[in-house]
Amino acid sequence: MIAVVARPAVFSFDPARAALVIIDMQRDFLEPGGFGAALGNDVSLLRAIIPAVESLLALAREKGMLVIHTRESHLPDLSDCPAAKREGSATGLRIGDPGPMGRILVRGEPGNQIIAPLAPISGEWEIDKPGKGMFYATGLQDKLAAQGIESLIFAGVTTEVCVQTSMREANDRGYRCLLIEEATESYFPAYKQATLDMVVAQGGIVGYTASLTALRAAMNEEGL
């Protein structure tokens, strides 16, 4: 077992039964000219975590952990996109509309792809999710169960929306969850901090948070 110095307490996990989950590091959310920027957000805030997520991904690959990449995406015919979700934003852009990088949040479009520095490699899972959470309508629960996964280490964007939703879904399904603090971000920094605090409140009601440094130290200490 690996023991990581974390909040609110030490997070222990078996790396053979753990997976790294990288949430929605997509071009449309992180790149200038993408959907996120078109909504008026400062994407530089999200881009700032790319080196940390790269380092975390490299660590997981080095240690032979399962890696899962998610994308928020919809079928081209939008049959998996409820009308309530597709209602317009302040800019008038809606899911499926032509955007700066192709149709917004549609599978296969350029903007829907994971950014190049974090591109999945052979053997890593790619989960296209039509909702904020990674379990809804994805079949992920069955895949994780078949793999014997018990613990999930989270990174990605945005902290208060898709990351937090996925962690809460995982917590409800009995997974032990750890969020890496430098490897997640929001367009609104105060929302990130609030989410970190909510995760660890009441003795870790949703899960744990830790620094990448603490995770690396714990994994290297065990000689993995």
Active site residues: 24, 129, 162
Q: Kindly write down the DSSP assignment for every residue of 140-195, as one continuous string.
A: HHHHHHHHT--EEEEEEE-IIIIIHHHHHHHHHTT-EEEEEEEEEE-SSHHHHHHH
According to DSSP H, which parts of the chain are helical? 27-30, 35-38, 44-47, 50-62, 83-86, 140-147, 164-172, 189-204, 212-221
SS3 of residue 95 by DSSP: coil
Look up tokens 């350029």; give the residue.
Answer: 110
CA–CA separation, 140 vs 10, rounded Å? Answer: 27
CA 159 to chain centre: 8
